[in-house]
Every structure is written in structure tokens, then in C-alpha cells.
Structure 1
Amino acid sequence: MNSMHATNEKSDIATLIIRHHVKAAARQGYESWLREIAREGQRFKGHLGANVIRPTTGSGSYTIVVRFDSEASLIHWMESEVRKQLVHDAPPHLEMPEDIEIQTGMEYWFTPQSPKQVHAKPIRQFLVSLSAIYPLIVAVPWSLQPLFSAIPPLAHPLAAKFLTAVIVVFLMVYVVMPRYTRLVAAWLYK
């Protein structure tokens, strides 16, 4: 059964999580379908990338994580005719209808992969976020000092803070949190 969850935020990075249970005999056809839909998705404005978590041995469960620069860009892809046609072609490969979820911002990194797990407690989310952000807000401005010296307009407080914020948020969303939350998962979801 499809379950769709979307927030009202329109400016955050939007993550589409799709779960497919693929028939064993249809894996090769599904992989071809998956390559085609991924190729088409990349053509849409705001597409930031996709990751496929393939099944472990004996399982037919695929998880596809697709990121867009905003919820509006993601919805544009979701409502496109090309995606609708490709989704229409998927059922012969699947054991059951796809499960879809939309999340914005960093919410995805704090959502456990197993539905049997509880969500991380807010205090633990706070501590993980703080311990990831603090080193970045110390290291990033320090590492940008040579750039600020070389290009004086970037040293203006507003420009420097904006550039620092862009780099810190990028590192948090794409580099730090995906790895860090996996590293501390046992404690985070305890």
C-alpha cells in the first residue's frame, strides 16, 4: 500500500524514499527499469542524486533514495508524465505496490531503516547534531581564511557567514550525517 508523507516546507532539500519488493524472477527486468527511471529523473530540474540500496542475499527489498533541491522540484518529478508512465510499467516486477515516503531537510538521517525501531529521541538527535556541527563551525571558517584574504569582498561579515553556512550545511547533509548516524546508530536508537 502506498504511504506518502510530505511536509509543508518548500525550501528544504526533499528526499523521496521508495521501497520495492521485487519478484526473484523479475530482478533483471527490474534493474533495467531502475536504470531507466534513474536516467529520466536526472533530467529534471533540482535533481541532486539517487542511491539504490540493493537487497541482501535472499531478499527482494530495494530502497531507492532520491534527492531534490526542494519539495517543489520533487513534486514536479513525481507528477511528470514520464515518471507516471515508468511507474505504470513497474508492477510486473513487484511482489506488492511500492511504498513511498517524502521527507525534507535532515529528517531522513534520523529515521530508522527498520519500521520496528523507534525514532531517535530528540535529546539524542540534538547531541548528534551538535557534535557534528560544532567541529564544522570551528574548522570551516578557519580553513576559509586564506580565501577571505585573497578575495577581500568575501571577508565581509555577511558574505563570510553565508559562504560558511553553505559549506557547513552541504557537509552536514551530504558528507557527515549519512555516515555519522550509521556510526552512532546503536546509541541513537537505544
Structure 2
Amino acid sequence: MSATSIDLNSVVTLVIHHKVRSEALPRYEAWLRRAVKEARKQPGHLGVNVIRPDGESGMFTTVVRFADAGQLQAWIDSAERAALIEEVSPLLEEGDHPLVHADAEFWFTPERGGRAQPPRWKQALLTYLVIAPLTMLIPKLWAPVFARYPLLGGMVPSNLLITLCIVLPVVFLIMPWVTRLCAGWLSAK
């Protein structure tokens, strides 16, 4: 599936928390590489991000994106994933914790531990601070292409390309990184 044929409204995300036993970290890392490789083979797979633990917590968070809910459900129900979960279970302290998210709000969903979700104004401000610079930079980067190919520079095609070049990096790369970086501020009262 090409990036231009993805319906961004149907993208779903599987967020998995694994608390790994300290003595099992090397085996878990090897398992994780195999699991990510297997997920990448699945129809509709759009990407995987792994957030490794800070310090001694042992909590790994894996974010897996699929083009639609049916493709994600097929992966969740697959024999391949079932075998992977059976294999990894002895390495985990608290089992497998998959959560399915159909929107971008998962960026701000705290890990287990009783913390509340950050106030909406903090979510909006952080999202604005990420997107605003991109809306100034991306059009300038496309300007030479639009000048050379006027059909692409039309109102609809140029906006579709620019929006795609903003949304995909924000969803798949920037916001997961920024929310980890700003976690202290987001969770502060």
C-alpha cells in the first residue's frame, strides 16, 4: 500500500506494554527483533516504534500501526502472534497488555500507574508547537517541485502533498518522541 493511498482516518494503533524481568532483558531484545520482523510482514502494517525503558523499570512500550482495524485484528488473531506471545510470556512480569487506539489521543495516554491524562490544553499546545513549524517549513521545501511541475502546484494537489508530509511524520515519528521528551511537563499539576 503506498503512502498516498492510506486513509489516515482509518489508521489504528496497537500499543503493547511489557514489563520484562531484569534477568530476561537480552532474551527479550532478541524476541522483540523477531516480533517486529514478523509484524512488518503483515498486510496493512504501517510501522513499529519501540520505546525502551528509562532506568530500571523494565517497561517496554511497542507501538504498531496498521492501515485499518480489520488488518490489525487479523494480526492480533494470527497464529504467528499467538506463538510469539506464548514464547515471551515467561520473560514478562505482568503479561502482555495490548491496547488498540483508533485516534491520535494515545500519544497522551499515560502508562499504567494511576497518573491521569494531561489536561487538554497541554495536549493542544504541544501538538500546536509540533505542527506549526512544519506548516511553515514543508511548503517551502515543496516550492521548487511545484514551480517545476505546475500541475502539482495547484490548490488541491499541493495541499494534499503538504498535508501528507506533515501528518505522517507527526503521527509516526515526532509526537511519540515529543511526548516522551515532555512527559514530566505533561504529567505535572
Q: TM-score, normalised by structure 1?
A: 0.80
* 1:94 paired residue number: 92
CA distance in 2, matches of 1:109, 1:118: 13
Q: How does 1:1-190 map to 2 (within 5 A)?
A: 11-56=9-54, 58-113=56-111, 115-190=113-188
Runs of 4+ in structure 1 over 6 Å off: none
Residues 92 and 176 of structure 1: CA distance in aligned 2, closer, same or farther (over 3 Å): closer
Q: Provide the C-alpha distance between the structure 2 equivalents of 1:54 and 1:151, rounded to a whole number of angstroms.
A: 43
Percent identity over the alignment is 34
What is the CA–CA distance in structure 1 between the aligned matches of 2:57 and 2:119, rounded to whole Å? 30
When normalised by structure 2's length, the TM-score is 0.80
Whole-angstrom distance in 2 between the partners of 1:28 and 1:181:
27
Could you tell me whether the CA contact under 8 Å between 1:11 and 1:71 is conserved in 2?
Answer: no
Consecutive unaligned residues of structure 2, counting only runs of 5 or more, are 1-7
Structure 1 residue 149, shift from structure 2 partner? 0.9
C-alpha contact 1:14 1:105 (8 A) present in aligned 2: yes
User: Kindly tell me: are residues 35 and 182 of structure 1, through their superposed partners in 2, closer, same or farther at Cα, counting changes over 3 Å?
Assistant: closer
Q: What secondary structure, in the 3-state scheme, does the structure 1 residue paired with 2:60 have?
A: strand
- The CA RMSD over aligned residues, in Å, is 2.5
SS in 2 for 1:153: coil
* Higher mean C-alpha deviation, range 57-66 or range 77-86: 57-66
Number of aligned residues? 182
Q: Secondary structure at the match of 1:45?
A: coil
Q: Give the C-alpha shift of residue 169 in structure 1.
A: 0.5
